Structure 1
Amino acid sequence: MASLGNCSLCSAELAFQVPLPSNSKIHRRKNGRWISPQAAITPNFHLPMQSLEVKNRTSVDEINKLRLITAIKTPYLPDGRFDLEAYDALMHMQIVNGSEGVIVGGTTGEGHLMSWDEHIMLIGHTVNCFGGSIKVIGNTGSNSTREAIHATEQGFAVGMHAALHINPYYGKTSQEGLISHFETVLSMGPTIIYNVPTRTGQDIPPHVIHSLAQNINMAGVKECVGNDRIKDYTDNGIVIWSGNDDESHDARWLYGATGVISVTSNLVPGLMHELMFGGKNASLNSKLMPLIEWLFREPNPIGLNTALAQLGVVRPVFRLPYVPLPLARRLEFVNIVKDLGRENFVGEKDVQILDDDDFVLVGRY
């Protein structure tokens, strides 16, 4: 006990000898305790964790030339953890069918249902296994600028080629706040801005995008408002990807979009590749419409998760709050696959209807 007392005394004495900033004002309380001095403010203290190494470093020009980017699905094991074996198989299917990039942990990949540890791990895994064959774009956006900065630093540190950033949702902010938020994350590397007001509750207006377009790290915009908005941007030299599969053919060939960030390409990557690379093809576009309409009748990714399970390429496991489509809708999908041709869909198993009891719903994982 005596030695502990001496230790405490030494620690106390040392505490009083800590050097303080020259401009600090020190006040002593009547009881002898010190008030912590105001921290010295160091300009540019919070610099991004950037690396100048060349591995996986990608220019903005390489990103804004991508025509088919798939918002890749994240499959699960029965306990809700990532099924990396199934994920790797999905990635291989995208690469062999001509997808040029993937969004990891986006809306379709259910990044909002992941911890940040899971999120960054999946980005790193994708880069490590597939980064030499396809561009890996990590969804590191958040409604908290602090979280967006931290996740983006980590994403680039594990090798992602570009970041996807949504505008702050739920709490929203002013238009000046939108610009400040995006300018902060744009400083770290090639960035795609994602505008989907039906999910965020706030549109990113054109004047904000025009302002941000001057930033050297601005690769382009995933735009979900529609083709008239897309034309306004492309007429001014801003790179745009359609965020709406049902409008992507016209966006690409009539309104100047570079391509699409697609959900449907999870299922029929070869057909979506043809749609984006093969020139105007109204016939193919019409042929794909029943599938696209079926996919988005309920909020994404409910339809996609159900379809991939029916095709046998992922386990029928859902992280709540997502639940599978009802039996009648699953029967519709079987008929859509027959009409389009099973050979055009991912996987090799026959399409199944599946019973309700086949699905696993996971609340804790």
Structure 2
Amino acid sequence: MLFFLLLRCRKNRKWRPPQAAIIPNYHLPMRSFEVKNRTSAEDIKALRLITAIKTPYLPDGRFDLEAYDDLVNMQIVNGAEGMIVGGTTGEGQLMSWDEHIMLIGHTVNCFGASIKVIGNTGSNSTREAIHATEQGFAVGMHAALHINPYYGKTSLEGLISHFDSVLSMGPTIIYNVPSRTGQDIPPRVIHTMAQSPNLAGVKECVGNDRVEHYTGNGIVVWSGNDDQCHDARWNHGATGVISVTSNLVPGMMRELMFGGKNPSLNTKLFPLIEWLFQEPNPIPLNTALAQLGVVRPVFRLPYVPLPQEKRAEFVNLVNQIGRENFVGEKDVQVLDDDDFILVDRY
């Protein structure tokens, strides 16, 4: 009799879904309050010189952490305030995620008290971007750098959803470089993302008109173009620059960002900047650092060194600008083709 009563109660009872399954935002980021509270977006917004640091290699293609540590120390001593780890310049695109997160963690562990560590944890896969960003913040990075999905481009609503998925985790810089991604991030997307307190700002490569549009609306911008960064900073309201050139001449780039309008210094640096971007970054930078003797002349393919006549041009530029302004202490030299090691498996 009791069995039939229970059966009838079950039939008459209205089914209710389990409450634990009703979560308005079902993505719960793996975040730590300890890490989240260490650095705020406001701390990142104040940075004026951020170096997109180069990753040096051993002859077998593994990271040369001793050379890397020296490079980072040179940046700190010469006044860089922040550092992008594993960006385009650092060849994050050639790293496994294990390598990538390890290098971010190593940088935080060794230098996190002296410089802000911004990990490039962006991807064209939202799933990968979420996972890498969780890991990056877990190992202590101060902020994340995120690019829009490249190659498999998405819609504007897709861009908003992609960035919204990672912004909740911590301070974030959005990176707009259409020449590499094949898709511009238009102001509509950035203005939507600016509603998040975690948006530190934008690394903008479209040009100074776009920079001024954002700064005029209270959005922090770093110039992503070294050849435009002086005018971006002093004429268009940019906070500073995320720089490739500062790998080579960090002190001069700091003066360009901190010392007020200085067209003569900008003109002095322009031939070097022009040389650095004659081929896709980081090819010229890797060649230059090898010739300065601060990294081994090792390239992970598909990158290869500049031809010898271009390598000779760099030596002339160093002599014109002054060897004392460049990183390292060895004499600059023109390396021979046979001096370089090209690694295809690593």
Taking structure 1 as the reference length, the TM-score comes to 0.88
Pick aligned residue for 1:281 from 229, 242, 262: 262
The list of structure 1 runs, each at least 4 consecutive aligned residues, that deviate by more than 6 angstroms after superposition, is: none
Q: Does 1:112 find its partner at 2:93?
A: yes
Does the Cα contact within 8 Å between 1:56 and 1:131 map onto a contact in 2? no
Alignment deviations for residues 85-144 of structure 1 (CA, whole Å, 9 cap, x no partner) = 000000000000000000000000000000000000000000000000000000000000
- How far is 1:53 from its partner? 1.4
Correspondence for 2:4: none
Is the Cα–Cα contact under 8 Å of residues 56 and 159 in structure 1 kept in the other structure? no
How far did residue 207 of structure 1 move?
1.0
Q: Secondary structure at the match of 1:339?
A: helix
Matched, 1:174 2:155: yes
Question: Which ranges in structure 1 are unaligned for 5 or more consecutive residues?
Answer: 1-21, 25-39
Contact 1:56 1:160 in 2 (8 A): no
Give the direction of change, closer, same or farther, for the CA distance of 1:151–1:305 in structure 2 (3 Å limit).
same
Judge conservation of contact 1:223–1:240 (CA < 8 Å) in 2. Answer: yes
1:99 aligns with 2:75: no
> Which structure 2 residues correspond to residues 103-142 of structure 1 after superposition, within 5 A?
103-142=84-123
Of the candidates 277, 282, 296, which is equivalent to residue 296 of structure 1?
Answer: 277
Following TM superposition, by how much is the alpha carbon of 1:50 offset from its aligned partner in structure 2, in angstroms?
Answer: 0.7
User: Paired residue for 1:265, among 246, 259, 264?
Assistant: 246
RMSD: 1.4
CA shift digits 1:314-355 (9 cap, x unpaired)? 000000000000000000000000000000000000001010
Select 1:207's aligned residue among 188, 211, 231: 188
Q: Which amino acid aligns with 2:270?
A: M
Equivalent-residue separation in structure 2 for 1:172 and 1:166 (angstroms): 12
How far apart, in 1, do the equivalents of 2:22 and 2:59 lie?
49
Q: How far has the Cα of 1:56 moved from its partner? A: 7.4
Q: Distance in 2 between matches of 1:293 and 1:219?
A: 29
Alpha-carbon distance, 1:23 to partner: 7.4
Instruction: Look up the equivalent residue of 1:102 and give its one-letter code.
Output: M
TM-score, length of structure 2 as denominator length: 0.93
Distance 1:178 1:53 in 2: 29
CA spacing shift, 1:255–1:125, aligned 2, 3 Å: same
Question: Residue by residue, what CA displacement relative to the aligned partner does 1:37-89 show, whole Å, maximum 9, x if unpaired?
Answer: xxx95635541111011587101110000000000000000000000000000
Once residues 362 and 120 of structure 1 are traced to their aligned partners in structure 2, the CA distance between those partners, rounded to angstroms, is: 21
Question: Counterparts of 1:263 and 1:144 in 2: how far apart (Å)?
Answer: 26
Aligned equivalent of 1:85? 66
2:248–2:289 Cα contact (<8 Å) kept: yes
1:122-169 CA deviation, whole Å, 9 max, x = no partner? 000000000000000000000000000000000000000000000000
Q: Could you tell me whether the CA contact under 8 Å between 2:36 and 2:170 is conserved in 1?
A: no
Q: 1:196: which partner in 2?
A: 177
After TM superposition, give the deviation of residue 272 of structure 1 in Å: 0.1
Tell me the amino acid that sits aligned with residue 187 of structure 1: S
**1:311-350 alignment to 2 at 5 Å?**
311-350=292-331
Query: 2:213 matched to which residue of 1?
Result: 232
Give 1:346's aligned amino acid.
V
How far did 1:245 drift?
Answer: 0.1
Structure with bigger gyration radius: 1
Ranges in structure 2 where 5+ consecutive residues have no aligned partner: 1-13
State the identity as a percent: 82
The Cα offsets for residues 181-216 of structure 1, whole Å up to 9 and x where unpaired, read as 001100100000000000000000011111111111
- Matches of 2:140 and 2:274 in 1, distance apart? 35
**Paired residues of 2:42 and 2:200 also in contact (CA < 8 A):** yes
CA distance in 1, matches of 2:243, 2:146: 16
